[in-house]
Amino acid sequence: MATFFEGYSHTFSEYLLVPGYSSSQNIPVNVSLKTPLVKFRRGEQSAITLNIPMTSAIMQSVSGPRLAIALAQEGGLSFIYGSQPPEDEAAMVREVKTYKAGFVISDSTLTPDMSLQDVVELKERTGHSTMPVTEDGTAHGKFCGIVTSRDYRLSRDDRGRKVHEFMTPVSECICGDEHTSLSVANDIIWDHKLNTLPIVDSEGNLMSLVFRKDYDSHKGNPDELLDEHKRYLVGAGINTRDYATRVPLLVDAGADVLCIDSSEGYSEWQKLTIDWIRAHYGDDVKVGAGNVVDAEGFRYLADCGADFVKVGIGGGSICITREQKGIGRGQASALIDVCAERDRYFEETGVYVPVCSDGGIVYDYHMTLAFAMGADFLMLGRYFARFDESPTRRLNVNGSYVKEYWGEGSARARNWQRYDLGGTKKGLSFVEGVDSYVPYAGPLKENVDASLLKVRSTMCNCGALNLPELREKAKLTLVSATSLVEGGTHDVILRESQSDNFRS
């Protein structure tokens, strides 16, 4: 006979939190959402700590460089999608790591003989309005001057005008030298009211640039997730097939953490992947694994050496694995089971392996439920796909703005490595995801702020000021179908269609 799990397979919507005692200190501003990303031993701290418990899904329609930067500015982390050539994924990782390195190597360099039209085209291509000028147009050539948007007027200036005619020449530039620290560079920028400080070596060659906007960005985003070199943290997805090629490229590009992207993680393929990484990099390269939906799957991956374990099969809004294969489990039931095993594993071994809840988040309050059930952090796809920073197009469909959103198991993604079970045949035999639209929601920052304010407020209702305290104090109750009706708007006629708790 097959093994039968007792009870039903439950989703987040079938649970509610019961309020607990809250003191006068339980106000949202006092709540910390810091959480470990990778495993650590008892008495130690995690090598990577998230400032907010949110990561973006390893998906083509979600996690590109622009979203990775925006999420890191808020304190979370993105996993650049792996369903692309390894070199392209590494380039995306490198783009994030070099975006805010303090000393930025120019990727938009001009020569004195280029035209204003060249400046306009380069600006359109890179998005950069500040461009250094060197004799040979290379990032480290002889520094000649700098061009900003204040140096020309497109409405009046001839597009054929040469750069040397309107640039700010080196003789009028304030520059730093090879001995200038980042702290000193920022002081120079502040004292001289500059937007950009070129760093030039003793022979007059351009070394790098320091931007005022990076300083202002840090001050305006105190929860930024930065490494020791003040660069944004970023993760990257890998598969169980080409890791010997992909992992070295991602590590060289600066990826801070990797994650095996698979629809089902209780597999020897994951062990082989982790074993290869440990053999070549030891514990220096952090790698998460998954996905699993029960205690047995968690323990297997923890024993394999995974730095975190993802939970969830078939709960994503674009995932049809349960329909196609009859595989999966309600996200709430899976999460409760796995987190209990995580705690047992910690008691037995002294090693805490964080759990990532991946899928099943429909409303903002589901986030708080997931944390109360034990999740250390969330991985979100549909939630982030709605924002300006996601890599997909914004369209107008039937009078409403939407963004494209497709699953990695869809024919559009063609991510066969994620679903491959071995053998010689390569390609998707059948789809496990759909191609769809999601309602456009605007910029990431204001949406994340709104969602996490709800999380913090609910935690205060439970008397908790941090995530471990929430797990300890939370009281959960199952709700009936009638209770679900009672919990929503009922027995009234709404004046207009409105909701302050959008689907996430």
Amino acid at 468: P
Yes or no: say if 381 and 59 are a contact pair by the CB < 8 Å rule: yes
418 is catalytic: yes
- The catalytic residue among 66, 246, 418, 456 is 418
Task: Give which of 415, 452, 446, 445 is closest to 433, Cα–Cα.
Answer: 415
**Rounded CA gap, 498 and 489, in Å?**
11
Question: Could you tell me the end-to-end alpha-carbon distance of the chain, in angstroms, rounded to an integer?
Answer: 40
**Rounded CA gap, 434 and 410, in Å?**
5
Kindly report the backbone phi and psi dihedral angles of residue 417, in degrees, each rounded to the nearest multiple of 5, phi listed first: -60, -30
Q: How many whole angstroms from its chain centre is CA 160? A: 42
Amino acid at 308: F
- Token pair 């709700």 is at which residue? 479
Query: Which secondary structure element, helix H or strand E, spans residue 347, and what is its range?
Result: helix 331-349
319 is catalytic: yes
Which distant-in-sequence residues (6+ apart) come within 8 Å of 74 by Cβ? Answer: 51, 52, 54, 221, 223, 224, 444, 445, 448, 449
- The catalytic residue among 319, 339, 460, 462 is 319
**Rounded CA gap, 150 and 139, in Å?**
22
Active-site positions read 319, 418
